[in-house]
Structures are given as structure tokens and as C-alpha cells.
Amino acid sequence: MSVDESCGIIGCGRSLFYKAVAAGDLKLSKYGKRSFVKRDELKRFVDNLPRSGPSQPRPRKTKAAPAAVPPAERAMP
């Protein structure tokens, strides 16, 4: 499969993908100028990624309420 297809499957961008290739963690196959990843190679790469623990929900960011302007300072039409 193409590099773009592989990135879409594992959910990463091309830069991170090519960092894995440069580190030797992922092997590409070439045909002319095009680069491809074998499905078995992509599966091996994903299977060897470090496991993460249970994720914690992120706290939601709340927008601050706008400062109240006293009626005397409001612009008159």
C-alpha cells in the first residue's frame, strides 16, 4: 500500500511515518520512485509499538465569560 494509505491506517502524518523509516522501525519497498509498505510490515510495526495504559479523559476547557460592562459605559445608538 502507499505511504499515504499507511499513514491513514495507523493515524499518523508523513513526517512521523518517515521518522519511523529513518529509525529502522519500518521498512519500505520501492518500485521506481514510489515507496510502498507491505501489509505484513505495517502490521509488524503496529504490533511492536509500546502499549499505553488506560487513557484519562482530558479536562474540558471552558471559555471565560466576557466581562460585564456597566450600563453607563455602554455606547448609545
70, burial (CB in 10 Å: exposed 0-12, middle 13-18, buried 19+):
exposed
Q: Tell me what the pLDDT averaged over the chain comes to.
A: 85
- Write the pLDDT tens digit of every residue in 8-53: 999 999 999 999 999 999 999 999 999 999 999 999 999 998 887 7
Which class for 18: exposed (0-12), middle (13-18), buried (19 or more C-beta within 10 A)? middle
